[in-house]
Structure 1
Amino acid sequence: MNILLWHVHGAWTTAFVHGKHRYLVPVTDDRGPFGRGRARTYPWPDTVEEVTPDGLPAADVDVVVLQRPEELELAERWLHRRPGRDLPAVYVEHNTPMGDVPDTRHPMADRDDLRVAHVTHFNDLFWDCGSTRTAVVEHGIVEPRARYGGELPRLAIATNEPVRRRRVTGTDLMPRFAAVAPLDVFGMGTAGLPDALGLGAGWLRVHDDPPQAAMHEELARRRAYLHLCRWTSLGLSLIEAMTIGMPVLALATTEAVRAVPPDAGVLSTRVDDLVDAAHWLIEDPDEARRMGRRARSAALARHGLDRFLADWDHLLEEALCASR
């Protein structure tokens, strides 16, 4: 199968392109948001091919995977074919709804020419897609090579744009945990975080946009993983941390309550509970390791790559069959 998709979310796309198909990824001269091409910090297989907008009209495309509303018009203009009419199309919704929750209308609502694939059951529940058919394909990840050591009595967080997205990412909660143990924050747009929170280097270190494999190695050295997002679909970094074997402390919001079983971490909407649990794990590395082993087992069972790719194969075959 020849699949056209844009490079939007590096971790999700990395898992997706590890399937058995040929993947066409648009690339532009500026490698901007709609033409990033192949990933530079993630390992992608040779079955992922860059294609320019000029090359798309003649490209052999069986199905289009859309991820942003703008891609619908862009695909028609670049392909000279209409996704959903001339070509089967699936729209992947990565995000929780914003705005008038729980009445937020999805931009692909009330369409009969495509299907919306949500990455969590929470998103499927909260987005109003009207009459558009929906499905849920839960996240899968390429298993990180790093394994938990936990030798550093520090807490790790992986998040993007924590200054700009302050309350969404739980950035305002970080000082409460820095009072327990030093924090290491990994991700894009973290450079201004210490000044924004008024925390010195002794209590907060940032690692701005590290390569994925290097980040995993560093996460594995920290005692526990913090997931402080109030409103997010389900951070793939949380699943990656669990797969590495890290114990996790997470706000019991959105899909985290399904992703983290009770024996694989501590979840609560009461922040004091998580602060107390951070003290506990910092002081008890043996229990941290035991909890991390359970987290790894749970993550592998639910978010393994084989299950993810099989679910997507089934959904894409359905889209092809429906268009015939």
Structure 2
Amino acid sequence: MRILVWHVHGSWTTAFVQGRHDYLLPVVPDRGPDGRGRARTWDWPASAVEVAPEALRDADVDVVVLQRPEELELVERWTGRRPGRDLPAVYVEHDAPRAGAADSRHPLADQREVPVAHVTAFNRLYWDCGQAPTTLVEHGVVDPGYRFTGESASLAALVNEPVRRWRVAGTDVLLRVAEQVPVHLYGMGVESLADRLTVFEDLPQAAVHDALGAHRAYLHPYRWTSLGLSLIEAMMAGLPVLALPATAAPEAVPPSAGVLSSDPDVLVAAARRWLADPQEARERGLAAREHALAAFGVERFLADWDRLLAAVVERGGVDRLTGVVA
């Protein structure tokens, strides 16, 4: 297939473009949100090609994978075809609903032409998608390989824009933990916290996994998020996990792989134990890697997407998308 898809979330798109299709990535002159084109810091195959908006009207496109409401209008303006009517389409909902989560109405809730594919069962349960067909395709992550050394008796955390996203990202929880055990913070916009913990900003993607693997465990302080791909990547890299039991985290992290608690003091106690006992940390991390590979392997992810795209392209297939993609 020839799939039109925007580069919105780098880690998710990295897994998505590993498939057997051709991927058309819109690119605009300033590489802004309407068209970032190919990633600069991830390794993408040659089948992921950039395409200018003016070339899309004559492009051979089999299906469009939407990720933001505004892309509905962009597709119609750039291709002359209406998603879900003139052009098969599916909408990926990456995020959990925000304020009033249980009552949040999805932007595509009032139509039936474009199915909504959720990335977690939690998201699917909480979004009110109205009459829109829904399905579930859980995340897939390209295996970074086993990276754990645990040589640094410290925790790693990866949070982008931790000040702007203070409570959502659990930055206050992060700082509370960092008052009692060493925490190294990676991500964008972290420099403003440099007076309170060790920070690393804008590491190249290729260096992130090695950097995380040097730490004894991974801290995921988010109060409210979908399912952070950094959490899955850390597990695949072989790090045990400390996290809040929020949104999809309890289903993603089994007890063998880490500790989940709403009490930061419980997380600190586990961190201290692992900092003092690198062997336990290693064993927990191996369990985390085993689970993440089984649950979030890219092969399963791509196979699920192949089945979903085939159903969307097939006439009448959308009406059958009422169950989990198996």
Normalising to structure 2: TM-score of the pair?
Answer: 0.95
1:110 partner SS: coil
How many Å separate the matches in 1 of 2:24 and 2:291? 33
How many Å separate the matches in 1 of 2:36 and 2:316? 29
2:273 partner SS: helix
1:232 partner SS: coil
Contact 2:11–2:141 at 8 Å: present in 1 too?
yes
Match of 1:149 in 2: 149
Match of 2:206 in 1: 213
Match of 1:230 in 2: 223
Match of 1:131 in 2: 131
Alpha-carbon shift at residue 146 of structure 1 (Å):
4.9
Partner of residue 300 from structure 1, selected from 293, 300, 308: 293
User: Mind listing any 5+ residue stretches in structure 1 that lack a counterpart?
Assistant: none
Match of 1:180 in 2: 180
Contact 2:217–2:281 at 8 Å: present in 1 too?
yes
Counterpart AA for 1:253: A
The answer to which of 66-75 and 93-102 deviates more is: 93-102
- 1:90-109 per-residue CA deviation (whole Å, 9 max, x = no partner) reads 00000010122210000010
Q: Does 1:282 align with 2:266?
A: no
Q: Does 1:266 align with 2:259?
A: yes
Alpha-carbon shift at residue 322 of structure 1 (Å):
2.7
Match of 1:6 in 2: 6
What is the percentage of aligned positions where both structures have the same residue? 60
Contact 1:21–1:47 at 8 Å: present in 2 too?
yes
Counterpart AA for 1:245: G
Contact 1:191–1:208 at 8 Å: present in 2 too?
yes
Match of 1:113 in 2: 113
Contact 1:146–1:217 at 8 Å: present in 2 too?
no
Alpha-carbon shift at residue 210 of structure 1 (Å):
1.6
Q: Does 1:167 align with 2:167?
A: yes
Alpha-carbon shift at residue 260 of structure 1 (Å):
0.3
Contact 1:92–1:116 at 8 Å: present in 2 too?
yes
2:107 partner SS: coil
Match of 1:59 in 2: 59
Contact 2:217–2:242 at 8 Å: present in 1 too?
yes
Alpha-carbon shift at residue 176 of structure 1 (Å):
2.0
Question: How do 1:7-46 and structure 2 match up within 5 A?
Answer: 7-46=7-46
Normalising to structure 1: TM-score of the pair?
Answer: 0.96
Runs of 4+ in 1 over 4 A off after TM superposition: none
How many Å separate the matches in 2 of 1:191 and 1:273? 28
Alpha-carbon shift at residue 323 of structure 1 (Å):
5.7
RMSD of the TM alignment (CA)?
A: 1.1
Counterpart AA for 1:17: V
1:224 partner SS: strand
How many Å separate the matches in 1 of 2:28 and 2:191? 28
How many Å separate the matches in 2 of 1:153 and 1:91? 42
The answer to which of 267-276 and 229-238 deviates more is: 267-276
Contact 2:177–2:264 at 8 Å: present in 1 too?
no
- 1:123-181 per-residue CA deviation (whole Å, 9 max, x = no partner) reads 00000000111001000001003511011011100121111000001101122221232
How many Å separate the matches in 1 of 2:315 and 2:263? 47
Match of 2:320 in 1: none
Q: Does 1:254 align with 2:250?
A: no
Alpha-carbon shift at residue 184 of structure 1 (Å):
1.3
How many Å separate the matches in 1 of 2:193 and 2:90? 37
Counterpart AA for 1:227: H
Counterpart AA for 2:311: E
The alpha-carbon distance between structure 1 residues 75 and 323, as it changes in their structure 2 partners (threshold 3 A), is farther
Partner of residue 314 from structure 2, selected from 305, 314, 321: 321
